[in-house]
């Protein structure tokens, strides 16, 4: 369903800091999610196809080249082999939710996707550590938007969380939101490095107050990336913020979601915590590089009855 873009709010520390997270209950709830619903084979296929439409198909490697980005974009536009879709009697257009590349590769993605409406996401130049000066990062955001990026994935400075400098965190995210213009802003919390579940909730609320269109778990470059525990806390923060302001903010888990089973567990989380409105690319994405291949192999096995090796489903 269409929704108004999050305009942000003035910094409200009472709303951000007063709520307490029950860590043991959060862990127990998250542990139940993978087995909470019994999913039949037919329903599983539908959920896997839904997951494909939510993937930010990503390449963030030191060996990225124009050719590699071209292959990524071609795969994003045709994510599942045609014979598999025909066998499933799936005859609707199917693409991933977006592609995600480094800032220097945005022009390559824009050229490869010219004439399509597939979103182009890029990470901020401070990715993944967020240890550089702010203004050069903002300048690159403005440049990337001019080059065709429609989504910016920024990384917060974790020091602001550890020192309790919530005003600085709010100002940082707000500056990125301003630099984005019409492009949407995804705020990466790097939840595996925030030390406590309380910090995850607080960083989520502050980032949404500052105008983030999505909150995102991780860069995919940390030792601990997307976990269902962190996702649950972020969903609760999104729900609280929506009740407080009326604005729907998106969720993007990223890093470590590698199998169809993983993807379905996250879909269950979002469905149960936020509802069906969030099960679309405007409000939910999965940041992944290998997940699409895993889903394609699962679908191949469904239609053929045979397992496929990873190299049978290359990026292009």
DSSP for 54-83, please give it: TEEEE---TT--HHHHHHHHHHHHS-S-HH
Picking from 139, 156, 138, 145, the residue whose alpha carbon sits closest to that of residue 122 is 145
The stretch 84-95 carries a mean pLDDT of 95
In angstroms, the CA 139 to CA 180 distance is 10
Q: Are 246 and 277 in contact (CB under 8 A)?
A: no
Q: In b/e form, how buried is each residue of 156-177, taking b as 16+ CB within 10 angstroms? A: bbbebbeeeebeebbebbbbbb
Q: Percentage of the chain with pLDDT > 70? A: 97
Give SS3 for 95. coil
pLDDT of residue 47: 94
Cis peptide before 264 (omega within 30 of 0): no
Sequence-distant (≥ 6) Cβ neighbours of residue 111 within 8 angstroms: none
Residue 149 CB neighbours (<10 A): 27
Interval 101-130: pLDDT, tens: 999 999 999 999 999 999 999 999 999 999
Give CA–CA dist 158/75, Å, rounded.
34
Q: List residues with catalytic annotation.
A: 153, 216, 252
Helices (H), 119-253: 134-147, 158-162, 166-180, 197-209, 228-245
Q: Is the pTM of this model over 0.85?
A: yes
pLDDT at 33: 83
pLDDT at 316 over 60: no
Q: Is the pLDDT of residue 214 over 80?
A: yes
Average pLDDT score over residue span 122-140: 96
184 and 4 Cβ atoms separated by less than 8 Å: no
Dump pLDDT digits (tens) for 242-275.
999 999 999 999 999 999 999 999 999 999 999 9
CA distance 129 to 84: 40
pLDDT over 70 at 97, yes or no: yes
Topology, domain 13-312: TIM Barrel (3.20.20)
- pLDDT at residue number 36: 65
pLDDT at 6: 98
Q: What is the pLDDT of residue 37?
A: 61
Rounded to the nearest integer, the mean pLDDT of the chain is 94
Please report the pLDDT score of residue 302 as a whole number: 93
For 161-181, how does the pLDDT look when each residue is reduced to its tens digit (9 = 90+)?
999 999 999 999 999 999 999
pLDDT at residue 155 is higher than 60: yes
The first and second tokens of residue 134, run together, are 């702010």
User: Are residues 241 and 221 in contact, defined by beta-carbon separation less than 8 angstroms?
Assistant: no
Q: How confident is the model at residue 42 (pLDDT cuts 50, 70, 90)?
A: confident
Instruction: List the chain domain ranges.
Output: 13-312
CA 164/CA 147 separation, integer angstroms: 36
Distance CA(264)–CA(112), nearest Å, equals 30
The phi, psi pair for 101, rounded to 5°, reads: -140, 170
If you average pLDDT over residues 212-237, what whole number do you get? 97
Q: What pLDDT was estimated at residue 1? A: 61
Neighbours of 245 (CB within 10 A): 18
Q: Residue 108 corresponds to which tokens in the numbers above? A: 């390559």
**CA 255/CA 297 separation, integer angstroms:** 20
* Chain position carrying tokens 């599942």: 80
Are 141 and 179 contacting, i.e. CB atoms less than 8 angstroms apart?
A: yes
Tokens of 93: 């257009």
Tell me how far CA of residue 294 lies from CA of 33, 64, 216, 258, 281, in angstroms.
Answer: 20, 21, 22, 7, 20
pLDDT of 315 above 70: no
* pLDDT tens sequence across 222-234: 999 999 999 999 9
DSSP classification of residue 134:
H
């Amino acid at each position: 369903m269409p929704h108004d873009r999050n305009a942000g709010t003035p910094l409200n520390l009472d709303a951000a800091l007063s709520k307490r997270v029950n860590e043991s209950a959060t862990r127990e709830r998250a542990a139940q999610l993978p087995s909470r619903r019994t999913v039949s084979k037919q329903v599983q296929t539908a959920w896997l196809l839904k997951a494909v439409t939510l993937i930010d198909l990503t390449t963030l490697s030191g060996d990225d080249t124009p050719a590699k980005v071209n292959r990524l974009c071609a795969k994003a536009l045709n994510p599942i082999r045609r014979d598999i879709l025909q066998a499933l009697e799936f005859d609707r257009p199917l693409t991933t939710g977006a592609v995600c590349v480094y800032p220097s590769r945005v022009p390559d993605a824009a050229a490869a996707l010219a004439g399509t409406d597939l979103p182009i996401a890029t990470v901020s130049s401070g990715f993944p550590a967020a240890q550089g000066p702010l203004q050069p990062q903002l300048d690159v955001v403005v440049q990337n938007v001019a080059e065709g990026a429609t989504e910016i994935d920024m990384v917060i400075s974790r020091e602001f969380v550890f020192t309790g400098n919530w005003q600085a965190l709010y100002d940082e995210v707000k500056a990125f939101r301003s630099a984005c213009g019409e492009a949407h802003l995804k705020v990466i919390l790097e939840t595996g490095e925030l030390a406590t579940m309380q910090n995850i909730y607080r960083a989520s609320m502050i980032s949404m107050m500052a105008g983030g269109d999505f909150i995102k778990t991780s860069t995919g470059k940390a030792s601990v990336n997307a976990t269902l525990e962190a996702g649950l806390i972020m969903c609760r923060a999104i729900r609280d913020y929506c009740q407080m302001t009326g604005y729907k903010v998106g969720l993007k888990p990223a890093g470590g979601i590698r199998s169809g089973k993983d993807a379905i567990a996250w879909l269950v989380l979002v469905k149960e915590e936020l509802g069906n409105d969030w099960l679309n690319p405007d409000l939910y994405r999965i940041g992944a590089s290998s997940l699409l291949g895993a889903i394609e192999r699962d679908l191949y096995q469904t239609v053929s009855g045979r397992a496929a090796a990873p190299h049978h489903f290359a990026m292009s």
